[in-house]
Amino acid sequence: MKILVAAGVVLFAAVSAHAQGPKPCEDLKNEIAAKLDAKNVKGYSLEIVPKDQEVTDGKVVGTCGGGTKKIIYRRGPAAPAPMKPADAPSKP
């Protein structure tokens, strides 16, 4: 009887975890940032990238989007975004 109850609890936990579905990437990124901020971590950036992108200068700290993306932690300030042609300074 105890085995039957234990099996029921395990199955219920697995079904309820699966019912939640994949976590949206921005939500997970915000949760990770909140945990880092709570530990007084300064000078870092978090970036969402495709799961098949090679990571050479950071650490994978989470996956999201049903396993299609990953969140990369990097020390130091966030990398500047590439300039769009409209943002580029005009030539005199």
The pLDDT tens digits for 61-90 are: 999 999 999 999 999 865 555 555 555 555
β-pair type (59-64, 44-50): unpaired
DSSP states of 36-86: HHHTT--SEEEEEEETTS--SSSEEEEEETTTTEEEEEEESSPPPPPPPTT
Q: What's the pLDDT at 21?
A: 67
Q: What is the distance of C-alpha 59 from the center of its chain?
A: 11
Query: Residue 11: its pLDDT value, please?
Result: 44
Mean pLDDT of the chain: 76
